[in-house]
């Protein structure tokens, strides 16, 4: 049988006739008789993965009320902001920074990649510089996001005499214990490791009078809500609390009501993350054929910087190794990697030393990696929201991006709206 080209495997018309796979029997498919896992009863609407990029000017037309020079921040901090090349704030920064500088509790809701980190860092750095004794706890769901925040903190606080400590898993305790013992003004960490240091009586949260929850909805997804409640309960009652999130699910809303006092809500109504991402699907027989098709795709000139998502840590590592053996510059990032390995892989990918980074959903949120040309969903995400966050790694800002999703022919797929879940795996 003649092998189909990649182009023939693309489903390019989301609304053309019956949904993909309709009428095919469930169960075994064309993978050499290999037994397939039963399809989840909450079936997948493939047409949601097929969409043309929409080029709009709504975001570009934003007219800020302030410039960074207008904010009531110390001149030393403004110099650092200017050195970073910041002139006009993004919508979330323009809306949140003035209230945060006044000491108000703030709930900031905006898509990933809109500048939320700067929106909470600048007011708290200004506060700590002006008033000695201020201490800030920043809680984030992943190690990579914590490191990214600390990197931004170092740039903005340069020359101000402020210190930070990073408290994350995957690295040894001694260095983190030493950093925390110096009573830094900023502690940035993930919930699990923060609780570890608290239980060891190394980290005392009672002096902290400022707290940030970044990517709050992601922490809900990862099951951190109980940990968050415990950590917040250890802080000073009189404090400034900032919540930043892409969405505000009910559980996070209830958490905000309990721990924030008279908060200002700044919600940015911008186009969906996916609107400037060209989306399509590729049909495959089985997992082995996915590797062959991925190989062919990576040989194309426009696949310059490709982020590939897999479901499990083992499969992520295996695919990266297979690509390296085939001669591609590739690496992997997942939860079993040491922190040093994860940082090195991200740095090499960011600096274009790698063509391909294979990742679990640990890389789907918060990370700002410039100029990712393609996102490929080698394995299906657990739900549509995770899909949106995955493809949001490409087409950042005003640029367009590309996303491809592999779909196995053996799966029965019927249109059903509001799909929440179609399969689970270890991250």
Task: Tell me: pLDDT of 129 over 90.
Answer: yes
Task: Tell me: pLDDT of 413 over 50.
Answer: no
How many Cα atoms occupy the beta-carbon half-sphere of 20 within 13 Å? 25
Most confident of the following: 15-19, 199-203, 218-222: 199-203
Q: Which pLDDT value is given to residue 272?
A: 54
Which domains does the chain show, CATH number per domain?
6-56+272-408 (3.40.50.300), 68-267 (3.40.50.300)
The residues, ordered by sequence, that sit 6+ positions from 245 with a Cβ below 8 Å of its Cβ are 107, 108, 109, 213, 215, 216, 217, 218, 252
From 140-154, 162-176, 329-343, the region with the lowest mean pLDDT: 329-343
Instruction: Please state the rounded mean pLDDT for residues 356-361.
Output: 92
| 128 touches 134 (CB < 8 A) | yes
| 357 touches 332 (CB < 8 A) | yes
**pLDDT band at residue 361, thresholds of 50, 70 and 90?**
confident
Q: Convert the pLDDT of each residue in 180-192 to its tens digit.
A: 999 999 999 999 9
Mean pLDDT score of the chain, rounded to an integer?
81
Task: Write down the pTM of the prediction.
Answer: 0.65
Say which residue, 82 or 216, is predicted with more confidence.
82
Q: How many CB atoms lie under 10 A from the CB of residue 358?
A: 29
Beta-bridge partner residues of 405: 281, 377
**pLDDT band at residue 273, thresholds of 50, 70 and 90?**
low
Q: Convert the pLDDT of each residue in 372-384 to its tens digit.
A: 999 999 998 887 7
- Sheet with 330-333, strands from edge to edge, namely 10-11, 277-284, 401-408, 374-377, 306-309, 356-359, 330-333
DSSP state of 154: H
Q: How far apart are CA 167 and CA 146, in angstroms?
A: 8
């Amino acid at each position: 049988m003649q092998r189909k080209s990649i182009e023939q495997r693309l489903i390019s018309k989301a609304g053309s006739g019956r949904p993909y796979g309709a009428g095919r029997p469930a169960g075994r498919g064309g993978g050499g008789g290999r037994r397939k896992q039963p399809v989840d009863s909450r079936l997948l609407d493939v047409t949601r993965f097929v969409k043309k990029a929409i080029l709009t000017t709504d975001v570009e037309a934003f007219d800020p009320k302030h410039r960074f020079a207008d904010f009531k921040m110390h001149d030393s901090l403004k110099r650092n902001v200017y050195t970073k090349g910041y002139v006009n704030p993004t919508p979330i920064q323009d809306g949140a920074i003035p209230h945060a500088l006044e000491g108000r509790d703030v709930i900031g809701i905006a898509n990933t990649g809109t500048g939320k980190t700067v929106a909470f860092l600048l007011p708290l750095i200004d506060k700590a510089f002006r008033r000695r004794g201020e201490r800030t706890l920043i809680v984030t769901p992943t190690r990579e996001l914590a490191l990214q925040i600390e990197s931004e903190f170092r740039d903005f606080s340069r020359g101000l005499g402020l210190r930070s400590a990073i408290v994350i898993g995957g690295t040894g305790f001694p260095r983190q214990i030493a950093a925390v013992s110096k009573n830094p003004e900023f502690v940035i960490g993930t919930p699990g490791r923060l609780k570890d240091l608290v239980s060891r009586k190394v980290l005392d949260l009672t002096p902290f009078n400022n707290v940030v929850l970044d990517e709050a909805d992601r922490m809900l997804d990862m099951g951190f809500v109980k940990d968050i409640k415990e950590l917040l309960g250890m802080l000073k009652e009189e404090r400034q609390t900032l919540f930043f999130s892409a969405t505000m699910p009910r559980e996070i809303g209830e958490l905000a009501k309990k721990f924030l006092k008279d908060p200002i809500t700044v919600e940015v109504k911008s186009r969906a993350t996916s609107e400037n991402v060209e989306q399509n699907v590729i049909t495959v027989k089985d997992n082995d054929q996915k590797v062959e098709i991925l190989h062919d795709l990576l040989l194309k000139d426009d696949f310059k910087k490709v982020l590939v998502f897999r479901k499990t840590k083992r499969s992520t590592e295996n695919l990266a190794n297979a690509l390296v053996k085939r001669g591609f510059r590739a690496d992997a990032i997942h939860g079993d990697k040491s922190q040093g390995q994860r940082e090195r892989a991200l740095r090499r990918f960011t600096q274009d030393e790698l063509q391909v980074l294979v990742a679990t959903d640990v890389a789907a949120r918060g990370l700002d990696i410039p100029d990712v040309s393609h996102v490929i969903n080698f394995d299906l995400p657990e739900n549509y929201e995770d899909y949106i966050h995955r493809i949001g790694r490409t087409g950042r800002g005003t640029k367009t991006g590309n996303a491809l999703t592999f779909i196995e022919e053996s799966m029965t797929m019927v249109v059903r709206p509001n799909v929440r879940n179609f399969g689970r795996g270890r991250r």
